[in-house]
């Protein structure tokens, strides 16, 4: 049986009582809760008593925030924005941005794009979590500890080449609206913006941290009709959404496509290739049965488990460099990893 070399994710499920969740969301930690498959991020930036926090550099904070904001595209057209979650490559956005589709292209601040699909959604909250299907971009944003109505906030409009452009905004207070399924929603952020904001755009405080994410909900019109309005889900609602993320909503694992075993030849170390999956990255990259893989990305390997561990450090679409011995001669092989079929 062909061994698919995959990433080992730590999948943790936790059932938390409502009172415990409420306490967790009220805690003063800076970061959104770790999603399934991720290690927890540092939990606080609050200084000890008597130690003042330095004033944030506004320009640097905006530049940092731009790196964590992505543009969602369909057919080359900007349909919304998303926020990369801290050091996690997954992207928080508004479900409305995607329309009837569950997929889109994600354009990062450096201009490169990847395809993404919805891994978790809540139509009532109008929130979605996108899973990038390749790459491992994780230069994201943290959750704000500030009162949104008490700080100057900014958001993002569409700039040149669909890149995010900073847009001044102001949180006016809290508002009650209803979802398209008529569920009453309280404590959303009512805001004004100097430009039309696409759904999913984050509202950020002066430190560049997220105070809310713009969504589309309803206000009652004539005969109870839904009049669509732009409001923002606050951090408490976002945390409530993220904590319910399914454990399988994780980026795809990189696949090499070999069956291997430790080499038993005296004075020789590595993983002997016993078989190669048809049409696999290993086959496309030129690996052959009986090749000996002894170095991966400059690191020695002696067991299939170590080989798997090193492959797992990559993302789908990335290249991995292997040093192999073929018929007694060393050579270097570069292989583009793909998701397992």
For 130-157, what is each residue's pLDDT tens digit? 999 998 888 899 999 999 999 999 999 9
DSSP string, 186-234: EEEEEEEESSPPPTTPEEE-TTS-EEEEEEEEEEE-GGG-EEEEEEEEE
Domain limits of the chain? 31-242, 254-339
Decide if 31-242 and 254-339 have a common fold.
no
Going by CATH, does the domain composed of 31-242 fall within 2.40.10.120?
Answer: yes
> In b/e form, how buried is each residue of 197-228, taking b as 16+ CB within 10 angstroms?
bbbbbbbbbbbbbbbbbbbbbbeeeeeeebee
Other CB atoms within a 10 A radius of the CB of residue 3 amount to 18
Q: What is d(CA 39, CA 113) in angstroms, rounded to the nearest whole number?
A: 26
Return the CATH number of the domain spanning residue range 254-339: 2.30.42.10
What pLDDT digit, counting tens, does each position of 12-62 carry?
222 232 332 233 333 333 334 445 444 444 434 445 555 555 555 777 888
Angle subtended by helix axes 18-26 and 235-242, to nearest 10: 130
pLDDT band at 289 (very low <50, low <70, confident <90, very high): very high
Q: Is 147 helix (H, G, I), strand (E, B) or coil?
A: coil
Give 116's strand partners. 104, 132
Residue 3 per-residue DSSP state: B
**pTM of the predicted structure, to 2 decimals:** 0.77
């Amino acid at each position: 049986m062909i061994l698919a070399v995959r990433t080992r994710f730590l999948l943790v499920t936790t059932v938390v009582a409502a009172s415990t969740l409420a306490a967790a969301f009220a805690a003063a930690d800076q970061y959104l809760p770790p999603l399934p498959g991720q290690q927890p991020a540092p939990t606080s930036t609050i200084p000890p008593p008597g130690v003042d926090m330095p004033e944030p550099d506004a320009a640097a904070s905006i530049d940092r925030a731009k790196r964590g904001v992505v543009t969602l595209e369909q057919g080359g057209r900007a349909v919304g924005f998303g926020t990369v979650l801290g050091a996690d490559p997954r992207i928080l956005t508004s479900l409305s941005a995607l329309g009837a589709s569950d997929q889109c292209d994600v354009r990062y601040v450096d201009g490169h794009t990847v395809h993404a699909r919805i891994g978790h959604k809540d139509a009532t909250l109008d929130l979605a979590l996108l899973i990038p299907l390749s790459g491992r971009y994780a230069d994201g944003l943290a959750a704000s500890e500030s009162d949104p109505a008490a700080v100057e906030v900014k958001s993002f409009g569409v700039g040149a080449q669909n890149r995010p452009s900073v847009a001044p905004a102001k949180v006016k207070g809290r508002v009650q609206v209803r979802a398209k399924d008529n569920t009453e929603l309280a404590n959303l952020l009512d805001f004004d913006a100097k430009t039309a904001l696409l759904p999913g755009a984050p509202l950020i405080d002066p430190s560049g941290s997220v105070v809310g994410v713009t969504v589309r909900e309803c206000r009652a019109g004539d005969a109870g009709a839904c009049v669509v309005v732009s409001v923002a889900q606050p951090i408490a609602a976002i945390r409530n959404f993220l904590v319910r993320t399914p454990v399988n909503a994780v980026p795809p694992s990189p696949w090499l496509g070999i069956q291997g075993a430790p080499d038993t030849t005296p004075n020789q170390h590595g993983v002997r290739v016993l078989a190669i999956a048809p049409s696999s990255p290993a086959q496309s990259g030129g690996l052959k049965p009986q090749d000996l893989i002894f170095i991966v990305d400059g690191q020695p390997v002696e067991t299939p488990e170590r080989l798997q561990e090193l492959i797992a450090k990559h993302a789908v679409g990335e290249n991995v460099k292997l040093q192999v011995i073929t018929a007694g001669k060393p050579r270097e092989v570069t292989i583009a990893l793909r998701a397992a079929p």
